[in-house]
């Protein structure tokens, strides 16, 4: 029996209208105009001093209401001053309320290769990363991968990110579309590679991928909360001609970002020196091509000298520190203190799949270990600032994200302070605020996440 019949046009229209009405109603329910969240509010008003646990930069408002209207934060008030009935009140007393995390360097297709065994950086790319990325030239795979990746970010408490997709235009296009659907602040762009990469992952001359970049910029840059990043994989996979083209894009589209990798691994640094013998350093390769600017996000930056740090500082570029990845791949120990002492902005990233989790808490715990191995003690304040307000400021977005200040977009996460007997006992015994927060940072992960709001809309809720 053939069950494929054509519905009458009027019935089709009615069904379409009904589904549309239901979608609007669900969106309205998820994102009421006026929301009041009650909990322990934690964020920052400035950069905490290095090593200081009693910092005036920390803003902790225990048992307060956070007021959200029209997707933005409009104020806060003590818990015993309940807002009136025009507000949808959600009681999270005894839970931690923070800005959503900002991941400044993460590879969306590399969820496919996370937790792969036994390689350093260059072997890792050829053995795991490049084969996985080749799949994202397919529209269905690209769309499914983008949705999976962004939902994974949200269920780890990350609401904004700077993302590497793949060399395929459809990969970046799908990522932009999925982020737009979720209302997320996302910075991304098609990866540029035209050499030292497998077939199917290389841009071709004569335009070296320029047309795809321009098409994506015209379509997505500045739309809602989306921004384009000229995305050079790393110097070895781009010819001088492609690097020059990327620099020209940065000049032509000065509001766009630029993201790439820098001095992650000693073998990589040696390879760059062999490929670009005229350059003073790895960073100098990018500077000569016009890629070193205030919108630049340079991932890793482990093997730098004082002149490199001075150039980063003078050009107002940032280093995105990926501690879990650096440990897992054996790349080296990033000196956070030295970078910031030189005036370089430092943010934090998961990297993935070189990193081992999208959890920012686990990543920051690894950052603590990396600094401890160098005789430094990273405070919870400096760590969390690097994944919230510090990252936002480095991206020029400090008035929008990374904070619970009035006027900011309501990207907000609610967390349990402690889960399980070990964490609960530690929380009970903790005295000062830094002790409580450092214990939370050390012992929590995505299982502690209760609810995620993006622009005031619920985008994740623990079952």
Tens-digit pLDDT profile for residues 253-279: 999 999 999 999 999 999 999 999 999
Residue finishing a domain among 330, 358, 386:
358
In a domain, 70, yes or no: yes
In a domain, 20, yes or no: no
Q: What percent of the chain has pLDDT over 90?
A: 87
In a domain, 112, yes or no: yes
Average pLDDT over residues 344-349: 98
- What CA–CA distance (Å, rounded) separates 227 from 220? 7
Answer whether residue 438 shows pLDDT above 90.
yes
- More confident site: 113 or 6: 113
* Residue 77 pLDDT: 98
Residue 130: pLDDT band (50, 70, 90) is: confident
Question: What is the SS3 assignment for 345?
Answer: strand
- What CA–CA distance (Å, rounded) separates 418 from 295? 38
Lowest pLDDT segment from 113-127, 371-385, 445-459: 113-127
* Residue 6 pLDDT: 36
Of residues 36, 31, 33, the one with CA closest to residue 82: 36
Do 408 and 267 reside in the same domain of the chain?
no
* Residue 125 pLDDT: 81
288-304 tens-digit pLDDT: 999 999 999 999 999 99
In a domain, 252, yes or no: yes
Do 297 and 435 reside in the same domain of the chain?
no
Tokens of 36: 């009041």
Q: CB-side exposure of 287: number of CA atoms within 13 Å?
A: 18
Tokens of 370: 């990396």
* Residue 97 pLDDT: 99
Answer whether residue 17 shows pLDDT above 50.
no
Residue 32: pLDDT band (50, 70, 90) is: low
Answer whether residue 26 shows pLDDT above 60.
no
Answer whether residue 207 shows pLDDT above 70.
yes
* Residue 31 pLDDT: 57
- What CA–CA distance (Å, rounded) separates 270 from 286? 16
* Residue 112 pLDDT: 87
Q: Which domain holds residue 274?
A: 101-358
Q: What is the CATH number of the domain that holds 171?
A: 3.20.20.140
Do 134 and 237 reside in the same domain of the chain?
yes
- Partner residues linked to 407 by β-bridges: none
In a domain, 94, yes or no: yes
Do 197 and 324 reside in the same domain of the chain?
yes
Do 85 and 64 reside in the same domain of the chain?
yes
Do 313 and 415 reside in the same domain of the chain?
no
381-427 tens-digit pLDDT: 999 999 999 999 999 999 999 999 999 999 999 999 999 999 999 99
Answer whether residue 121 shows pLDDT above 90.
no
Answer whether residue 16 shows pLDDT above 50.
no
Per-residue buried b or exposed e for 243-257, using 16+ beta carbons within 10 Å of the residue's own CB = bbbbbebbeebeebb
Secondary structure percentages of the chain, helix, strand, coil, to 5: 40, 25, 35
In a domain, 152, yes or no: yes
Residue 450: pLDDT band (50, 70, 90) is: very high
Q: What percent of the chain has pLDDT over 70?
A: 93
* Residue 235 pLDDT: 98
Average pLDDT over residues 39-44: 98
Do 258 and 349 reside in the same domain of the chain?
yes
Answer whether residue 13 shows pLDDT above 90.
no
Average pLDDT over residues 19-25: 45
Average pLDDT over residues 83-110: 97
* Residue 30 pLDDT: 52
Crossing angle of helices 360-372 and 433-443, rounded to 10°:
110
Do 328 and 408 reside in the same domain of the chain?
no
Residue finishing a domain among 301, 331, 358:
358
Do 267 and 316 reside in the same domain of the chain?
yes
Residue finishing a domain among 303, 333, 358:
358
Answer whether residue 24 shows pLDDT above 80.
no
Answer whether residue 8 shows pLDDT above 90.
no
Q: What is the CATH number of the domain that holds 56?
A: 2.30.40.10
Answer whether residue 113 shows pLDDT above 80.
yes
DSSP string, 279-331: SSSHHHHHHHTT--STTEEEEE--S--HHHHHHHHHTT-EEEE-HHHHHHTT-
Helix (H) or strand (E) holding 412: strand 412-416
Taking all residues of the chain, what is their mean pLDDT, rounded to a whole number? 93
Do 45 and 150 reside in the same domain of the chain?
no
- What CA–CA distance (Å, rounded) separates 293 from 254? 9
Do 294 and 154 reside in the same domain of the chain?
yes
In a domain, 327, yes or no: yes
101 contacts 345 by C-beta, under 8 angstroms: no
In a domain, 6, yes or no: no
* Residue 10 pLDDT: 31
- More confident site: 33 or 180: 180
Lowest pLDDT segment from 109-123, 202-216, 219-233, 337-351: 109-123
Do 304 and 423 reside in the same domain of the chain?
no
Instruction: Tell me the longest C-alpha to C-alpha distance in the chain.
Output: 77
Query: How many domains does one find in the chain?
Result: 2
Average pLDDT over residues 218-239: 98
Of residues 397, 444, 372, the one with CA closest to residue 51: 372
């Amino acid at each position: 029996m053939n069950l494929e019949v054509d519905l009458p046009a009027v019935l089709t229209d009615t069904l379409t209208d009904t589904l549309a009405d239901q979608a609007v109603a669900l969106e309205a329910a998820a994102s009421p105009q006026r929301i009041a969240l009650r909990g322990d509010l934690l964020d920052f008003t400035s950069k905490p001093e290095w090593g200081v646990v009693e910092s005036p930069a920390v803003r902790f408002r225990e048992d307060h209401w956070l007021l959200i209207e029209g997707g933005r934060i409009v104020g806060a008030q003590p818990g015993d001053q309940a807002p009136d009935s025009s507000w949808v009140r959600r009681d999270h007393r005894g839970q931690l309320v923070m800005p959503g995390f900002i991941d400044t360097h993460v590879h969306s297709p590399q969820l496919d290769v996370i937790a792969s065994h036994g390689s350093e950086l260059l072997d890792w790319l050829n053995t795991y990363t490049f084969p996985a990325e080749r799949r994202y030239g397919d529209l269905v795979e690209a769309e499914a991968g983008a949705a999976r990746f962004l939902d994974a970010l949200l269920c780890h408490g990350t609401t904004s990110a700077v993302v590497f997709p793949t060399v395929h235009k459809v990969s970046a296009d799908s990522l932009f579309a999925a982020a737009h659907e979720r209302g997320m602040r996302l910075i991304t762009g098609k990866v540029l590679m035209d050499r030292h990469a497998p077939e199917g992952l290389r841009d071709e001359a004569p335009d070296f991928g320029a047309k795809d970049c321009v098409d994506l910029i015209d379509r997505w840059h500045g739309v809602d909360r989306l921004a384009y990043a000229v995305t050079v994989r790393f110097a070895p996979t781009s010819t001088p001609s492609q690097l020059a083209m990327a620099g020209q894009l940065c000049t032509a589209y000065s509001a766009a970002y630029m993201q790439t990798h820098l001095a992650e691994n000693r073998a990589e640094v040696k390879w760059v020196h062999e490929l670009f013998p005229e350059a003073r350093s790895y960073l100098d390769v990018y500077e000569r091509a016009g890629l070193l600017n205030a919108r630049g996000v340079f991932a890793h930056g482990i093997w730098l000298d004082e002149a490199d740090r001075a150039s980063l500082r003078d050009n107002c570029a940032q280093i995105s520190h990926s501690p879990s990845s650096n440990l897992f791949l054996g790349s080296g120990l990033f000196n956070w203190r030295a970078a910031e002492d030189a005036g370089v902005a430092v943010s934090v990233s998961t990297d993935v799949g070189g990193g081992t989790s999208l959890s920012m808490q686990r990543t920051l715990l690894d950052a603590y270990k990396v600094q401890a191995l160098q005789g430094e003690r990273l405070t919870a304040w400096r760590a969390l600032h690097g994944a919230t307000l510090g990252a936002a400021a480095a991206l020029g977005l400090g008035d929008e994200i990374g904070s619970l200040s009035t006027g900011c977009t309501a990207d907000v996460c609610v967390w349990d302070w402690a889960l399980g007997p070990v964490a609960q006992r530690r929380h009970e015994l903790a005295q000062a605020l830094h002790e409580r927060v450092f214990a939370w940072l050390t012992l929590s992960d995505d299982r502690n996440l209760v609810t995620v709001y993006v622009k005031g809309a619920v985008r994740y809720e623990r079952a």
